[in-house]
Amino acid sequence: MNDFFIIPKHFFTPEIIIKRPPLAATAKQAGWVGCNIDISKVTRVGKVFLVKNSQAIHQNFVKETFNKTLFLQTKTKGEKAWILHIMNCVDLIQKETFTLDDVYKFEKELQSKYPTNNFIKDKIRQQLQVLRDKGIIEFVGRGVYKKV
């Protein structure tokens, strides 16, 4: 596979950063701590391809894809976390067209991330509306959505 993509900085969250052990006392940079980035935890929308399947992606499409998510920069940490969690849920759904019930299947997982939120289904619907308004998903009708 010959792909090359960038991840905009607003997709970097503590969940994708994996701290490495400090360098040994005998190392030139003793005590320095690095990290790895788990790109498998970055949502599909967070990967802006420049090259996919050995084919260069048109510059205008790259810009459009990148700009589509810039709204995340203006969100609070909590708002951004919710949006990214719902994006990840949508990514885990194996169909291009999905239903609200498909997303509701993640309710228990989201409840464990937000134990004080007693309105998880309401929050799911709210975040799907945000994703719809930003052109990341499309509302087809009557609880049916499509990945864009």
**CA–CA gap between residue 81 and residue 24 (Å, rounded):** 35
- Domain locations along the chain: 4-67, 75-147
Q: What is the pLDDT of residue 66?
A: 95
Q: Which CATH superfamily is domain 4-67 in?
A: Dam replacing family, catalytic PD-(D/E)XK domain (3.40.210.30)
Instruction: Supply angle C-alpha 123, 128, 131, rounded to 5.
Output: 130
Q: Flag whether pLDDT at 1 surpasses 70.
A: no
Q: What is the pLDDT of residue 21?
A: 93
pTM: 0.87
pLDDT, the chain, mean: 95
List, as one string, the DSSP characters of the chain. Answer: ---EEE--GGG--GGGEEEPPPPPTTSTTTT---EEE-GGGS-GGG-EEEEETTEEPPHHHHHHHHHTTGGGGGS-HHHHHHHHHHHHHHHHS-SSEEEHHHHHTTHHHHHHHSTT-S-HHHHHHHHHHHHHHTTSEEEEETTEEEE-
CATH fold for domain 75-147: Arc Repressor Mutant, subunit A (1.10.10)
Q: What is the pLDDT of residue 101?
A: 97
Q: What is the pLDDT of residues 73-82, one digit of tens each?
A: 999 999 999 9
User: What mean pLDDT comes out for the span 106-135?
Assistant: 97
Give the CA-trace dihedral at 145, 57, 45, 98, to 10 degrees: 20
**CA–CA gap between residue 136 and residue 76 (Å, rounded):** 19
Pull the structure tokens for residue 82.
């919710």
Q: What is the pLDDT of residues 8-57, one digit of tens each?
A: 999 999 999 999 999 999 999 999 999 999 999 999 999 999 999 999 99
